[in-house]
Structures are given as C-alpha cells and as structure tokens.
A = this chain, B = another copy of it.
Amino acid sequence: MDPHLLRTYVTVARLASFSEAARELGYTQSAVSQQIAALEQDLGAPLLTRRPVAPTQAGERLLEHAGPLLLRLDAARADVARMATAPEHGLTLVSAPTALGPYVLAALPPTGVTLRVLARDEIPAAVATGAAEVGLVDGLAAPSDPLRLPDVAPLSTYGVGEEPVCALLPATHPLARRARLRLGDLADARWLDAPDTGLPLAQLRAANGGRGFRPSLRYDGTDVRTLTALAAAGQGLTLLPRSAATGVPGAVAVPVTEPRLVHRTELVYAGSLSGAAARLAEAVSRS
C-alpha cells in the first residue's frame, strides 16, 4: 500500500477517469492503469468498476481511509521537516471564525502575523501539515473541559479562554427580553445550520439529549457578520460566544445558563512552540 498508489487511486475515484487522473498527476494513462491494477492486486479486491469508473464497495471503504491517511502522512512529513529548517520570522495563524476572541486580539504583536480564517474542522489539519504554526479552535464544552478535536496528528493544545455562550435572537423574538435562557427553551425553534461559522447543530442536539434543533437556512461560509445578520433577520437562531453576539443591530444576545456550557477557545500547535508563536502564546496567557 504505497501512499503513491493511494494518491492516484483517490484521484481516479474523484475524477471518475483514468486518463483525467493521469493528466492531473503527470503520468501516462498506462501508468495509472498499472498503478490501480497493482493496488487491487495488493489488496486482493477490485476497487473500481470500469466503464463507468466508480468505486466498488471495497473501494468506498478505502476512500474513507485514504483521506485521513494521506493527511497524517503529510502531517508527519511537515512535522519532521519543520525541525530541520530554520524557524521563519513571520507567524501564520489560522483561526475558526468565532475563535478570535478578545483575549487573542489584544495579544497579537503589531507586525509580522498572517491571519487566515478557516472552518473549524480544517484548523487541526492546517496546523498539522504546516500551513500555519498556530491555530485557534473554539467550541462548546463543559467549564474547564478540553475541546474534542479530531486527532489528525499528535497536536498539543492550550486553553486560552472561556466565555459565556449566548443565543442570538431577533429583537422581536418572544424570548428576547429574558435575562437568561435554558437551551431546552429553544430546542423547538428553527436554527441556522452553519457548521463552519457557528456551532454544529449536532453538538447542541447532543447537549440537549439528542432532540430538537431543526435546521432552517444553511450557511456555508466563515463570515460571522453574515451569520449575525441572518439571525437578526429572523432566518434562524444561532449560538455564539458573548463577545461575538453583542452589538448586533436588530438582535439580542441572551446568555444560555442551562446546561452549564461555555464557549472555549484553544490554541493548537505541533511539536513545541518557538519564536513568534511562543511569544504569542505567552502574551495570550498573560492577558
């Protein structure tokens, strides 16, 4: 199971074509054909139907494995390579949209930082593969509980802060006047389904016993202002850290106090922090 073969296999499966995959990978069609044949022989099972080119049942399983496998492989390579090359001067920081809370903003050095905002579940991969030195992830957790991160690679985490979580309600919402809410009060409402920007509905459902939280509009994107505007316009509810939920025109942020959940932000990095990254972490922990 050469990673090389695996890579061609996923390319062929994605493009549903041997010739296209060959072009993309810089091989001849013949080479791709032989590589797939070799992989199938190695694993002892046909992976693709030809004409049309589509994964078999066994091939589907392999595809599920291939992604994480190749990711980890890249992560390992990046991690080792990082030890060999001299640390750069700039610092690249990737963050989930709502993870960039006040604690971090205040601690950023005046210059030399490149910031990129990604969907939450892309953060660990970006840090692991060396696309960024440091990542910021956030999520819902019981107070002082660590976040549940997908383990794509041996990453270290470091809690930077916790905030109350608020439901963002349109000003006209019947519960908008309340000083605080239980999550169960809102289970039957329609919720914005914004896995990249906000918090995954499945997580809310789990926190509430597995029911409710029917989705309304789905938003794929990483802009929090769009999300808050949607919520203010009554398109659906959403849960945000207090700092992100306050000051939205036409909407009210009401703290959710039951169950006892907080919005937690963690810094993730591979190996040990050095240089600018270490200074950032130290600045964050001081604040």
Interface residues, chain A, with chain B CB atoms under 8 Å away:
1-3, 43-45, 47, 57-58, 61-62, 64-66, 68-69, 72-73, 75-77, 79-81, 83-85, 142-146, 148, 150-151, 153-154, 206, 209-210, 271
Contacts and interface: CB of A to CB of B under 8 A. Distances in A.
Nearest to A74: B1
A65 B85 CA distance: 19
Nearest to A148: B148
Given A65-B154, A75-B65, A210-B144, A81 B45 contact: yes
Nearest to A146: B206
Nearest to A58: B83
A150 B150 CA distance: 9
Contacts of A85: 44
A69 B73 contact: yes
Contacts of A142: 142
A91 to B, nearest CB: 20
A154 B62 CA distance: 10
A66 B2 CA distance: 15
Contacts of A145: 206
Nearest to A75: B65
A61 B83 contact: yes
A81 B1 contact: no
Contacts of A209: 143-144
A271 B64 CA distance: 10
14 contacts: A2-B2, A44-B81, A45-B81, A57-B83, A61-B79, A62-B79, A62-B80, A65-B72, A65-B153, A65-B154, A69-B76, A72-B72, A150-B151, A151-B151
Contacts of A151: 68, 150-151
Given A61-B79, A62-B79, 17 more contacts: A43-B77, A43-B84, A44-B85, A58-B83, A58-B84, A61-B80, A61-B83, A62-B80, A65-B72, A66-B76, A68-B151, A68-B154, A69-B69, A69-B73, A144-B206, A145-B206, A150-B151
A212 to B, nearest CB: 13
Contacts of A57: 83
Contacts of A154: 64-65, 68
Contacts of A61: 79-80, 83, 271
A3 B72 CA distance: 12
